[in-house]
A and B are shown apart, each in its own frame.
Chain A
Amino acid sequence: MSASKSVSVKNLSKIFDGSGGKKVTAVNNVSLTINPGEFVTLLGPSGCGKTTILRMVAGFETPTAGDVLIGDERVNTLTPDRRDTAMVFQSYALFPHLNVFENIAYGLKIKKLKPDVIRAKVKEILGLVDLHDLETRSPNQLSGGQQQRVALARALVMEPSVLLFDEPLSNLDAKLRIHMRREIRKIQHQFGITSIYVTHDQAEAMSMSDRIIVMNKGVVEQVGTPREIYATPASQFVADFIGTANIIPSQVVAVNSERTEVSALGTSFHVKTSLSLQPGDTVKLIVRPEAITLSCDAGIPATISSSVFMGAYQDYVISSHGQNLLLVDADPANHQTFEAGEQVFLVIAPNKLHIVK
């Protein structure tokens, strides 16, 4: 068992030689520090460089520029087997010539553990990933989800200092996925394994991460706790990518130390911000759907464009001052619902507003 280690990358870039001599900048000058024992998620659209960062940390790709540090050690020139990392591959990468037991025991054997210790560890991890009776199966006799869990078990059982996950749960059903999230978190926490986790699933990122790193086109857009990322996105991209956001163009009217006054939807809002702005600047007002409530008597006038009952909540699209807005009524049973075409008024909670440039 190894002590927790931090992982940091400094000014890391990776440029691939694409086909036809074109260069592809997969990762562009990224700097990050991940604390010992921390669980961070890399979130971003397909092709934004998440896998490439993981592969540079694991040692499969040599950075074009910049450094990778594990603990205090610069590992740029260290081969993957000399780095105390284990990776769960997007493509599983199970050894087709070995059965489930041998796949999971593969790394333990390299550690020269005693056979009975190996057996016990494999048994235990197989229990965790719910694959008790499949030890002697070969990978091509397993379903996609089972293969994925073997791949996960093979990395988890190593208890390395750093675990790298590349969409490890993408092939599992919703229930199993929630179960596996918990198990991964538990093991990770128990051994203080620093973890970098790539996913497309926002719920996964929100529920598991200490911090989330949002990437776009090879650069880091924002790093923060799930709460920060959601409540105070650093850019329109982040606001749009994480959850649902109404993005309303607006203008700065006045700036004072406490709040900034912006005008939008025919009225003005007082918003807290850390941006330094001048009156007259154009900004984007970020309004989460749950920040808006509907009223019959007072507020910003609007028309209901569509109204959909979703069971636990009611989804509306409304239009006001030429702007389409999404909003969610979380408790439709409790009060009046509206139908398409009705005239209503909007009430927007000022402390849930956020502005980006």
Chain B
Amino acid sequence: MKRDPALVSAIATLWLALGVFVLYPFARLLQVTFFADGYFSLASLERVFTNWYDRAAVFNSLQLAFAVALAGVLLGFIFAFAVTRMNLPKPTKWFLGAVPVLPLISPPFTSSIAITLALGPNGMFFRWFGLPEFTIYGFWGTWLSETLTVFPVAFLTLSAVLAAIDPNLEDASLSLGRSRLGTFASVTLPLTTPGLANAFLLLFASSLADFATPLVLAGHSFPVLPTQAYLQITGLHDLRGGASLSFILLIPALIVYFLQRYWIGEKSYVTISGKSGPRTGIRSLGLAPEVGVMTVCLLVSVFILFLYAIIFLGSLVKVWGVDYRPTFEHYEYVFNRGMKAIKDTILIALVATPIGAILGTAFGYITSRMRFPGRRFMEFTALLNYALPGTVVGISYVIAFNTGPLVLTGTMAIIVAAYVFRYDATGIRSTVASLQQIDLSLEEASLSLGESAFGTFRKVTLPLIIPAVTAGMKFLFIRAMTAISATIFLISVHWTLLTTRILECMTELQFAQASAFSVVLILIVFAASGLISLMFRLAYPRYSR
């Protein structure tokens, strides 16, 4: 059972991929950070802690990430709860499921631009309501924008977890005399704990690593590490300085990662047991909590729609705030001057998504179902690039693939690799999480009926984890279309990206063009992620969960 040659070669292939695209760049990065002129040196790290501005950036980054993750998980849970655990009319359910998708499929700049236009200096919100002016730049603006941008990730993971909880367990608790709220607190919530922790980690890491939002909204009084690192490199051409700033950023991310592994790793909640009772209907939590949940959902949804309306309208008028005559000239600009970026971005995402899906599923399956030496380290390595801030990954790829045995600078491969090994993390995590919920005896039953290990994976395991794989694929595709933090270092004259075009527009204060680019990008992503869902629904028509 142990020395399956197919397994051995699969493991070898995966290690090779991880070695080239994760470990090697990481090693080169450490080399640049810690070695000066061939000698070990802590000088560049010392500089960070002696400079008060950099020290503030360390503190601000942590504070921001914590606040964003907390608010995002809460919001995500409320939305997930409404969609999966409340008896809502279908259209309402659809609406609550669709709105959080908007921030998810737009580049991080989108909400920043909209928030600036709505809440910024002379923002329309204040003029409309006659509120006293305050500055949106700094902690609150960044926090608001990042929370809105990342909470959908929590929403998606948590609704998958909530949907998988067998309602019979809740019925059992009710029949043992617990109240509905008591059942929620003592059964539903504990069963969701691994999911909550997982979501918190995802959000914490993405806030830590996000540099697009702070670039627009943080301002000079609220420095955070990723922007500092970016400015260090692009502004001051100080690769070592930027690398050391990002290195410091990596430490809290790793701490959270280890905490989560220690905390969640021990708990395995088997809820798909193969011994299933009839599924019962949804039990209401009671009127007051449900009204509360709905109020939050609707307020947040309306605010998000409002922000997107601004972007959309902004792309259709001459100059927002000055000249409201309708025009298509910004879209003409996008389709003439931006066509190459559109084509490149789509091609890169189309190539990265299937590769990432296969790799992510393979990593998730092999590390959670197979026993082999180095299994834990493989899982750690496969998730490393996601734990690392995008800025670090970008810089390490530049260092690793600019010179040395494998030169990839200027190619499409380097961008695809950066996306695949960074953003297959969601696929890996959700695959692992959903495998934890599938009783091993299902796979054993298939093996005992004479199906091979691979056939069992294809016929039993895959159909059961397909929602997780789909979630991972969508996430990867969306990120490949919209991410910027790592790949801004990797673009070239041959391969450019929509997101970097948006950034260019914004630095030239072409807000209308930036908005038009954003709208186009959102529409492409929307269509494509719908297509991914459709494909899987066609491939697995009877998947009813």
Contact = CB atoms under 8 A, between A and B. Distances in A.
Interface of A: 58-60, 62, 77, 79-81, 85-87, 89, 91-97, 106-107, 110-111, 138-142, 144, 147, 151, 154-155, 158, 164
B442 interface: yes
A93 B447 contact: no
B449 A93 contact: no
A54 to B, nearest CB: 10
Nearest to A78: B1
Contacts of B460: 95, 97
Nearest to A79: B1
Contact of B439 (A62, A85, A93, A140): A93
Contacts of A164: 448
A81 B455 CA distance: 10
B450 A140 contact: no
B279 interface: yes
Interface residues of B, number: 36
Interface stretch (B238-246, B268-276, B417-425, B491-499): B268-276
A138 to B, nearest CB: 8
A6 to B, nearest CB: 19
A157 to B, nearest CB: 9
Contacts of B545: 96
Contacts of A91: 273-275, 439, 441
Nearest to B442: A93
B411 to A, nearest CB: 41
Contacts of B542: 97
B508 interface: no
B37 interface: no
Interface in B431-479: 439, 441-442, 444-453, 455-456, 459-460, 463-464
A110 B449 contact: yes
Residue of A92, A93, A95, A142 contacting most chain B CB atoms (<10 Å): A93
Nearest to B438: A96
B543 interface: yes
A77 B5 CA distance: 13
Nearest to A166: B441
Given A91-B273, A91-B441, A141-B278, A79 B4 contact: yes
Given A79-B447, A80-B448, A95 B442 contact: yes
B543 A77 contact: no
Interface string B123-137: 000000000000000
Closest 9 CB pairs of A and B: A107-B449, A80-B447, A93-B441, A93-B445, A93-B274, A140-B276, A87-B448, A97-B463, A81-B447
B277 interface: yes
B448 A111 contact: no
Contact of B444 (A93, A94, A139): A93
A92 B445 CA distance: 9
Contacts of A87: 444-445, 448
Contacts of B446: 95, 106
Nearest to A19: B266
Nearest to B544: A138
19 contacts: A58-B448, A60-B444, A62-B2, A79-B4, A79-B453, A80-B1, A80-B448, A81-B450, A81-B453, A87-B448, A89-B274, A91-B439, A93-B441, A97-B463, A139-B276, A140-B278, A147-B276, A151-B445, A154-B445
Given A94-B274, A106-B446, A110-B450, A89 B441 contact: yes
B453 A95 contact: no
Contacts of B455: 81, 110
Interface string B530-545: 0000000000101111
Nearest to A104: B449
A96 B276 contact: yes
A164 B274 CA distance: 18
Nearest to B4: A79
A87 B274 CA distance: 14
Contacts of A97: 460, 463-464, 540, 542-543
A111 B442 contact: no
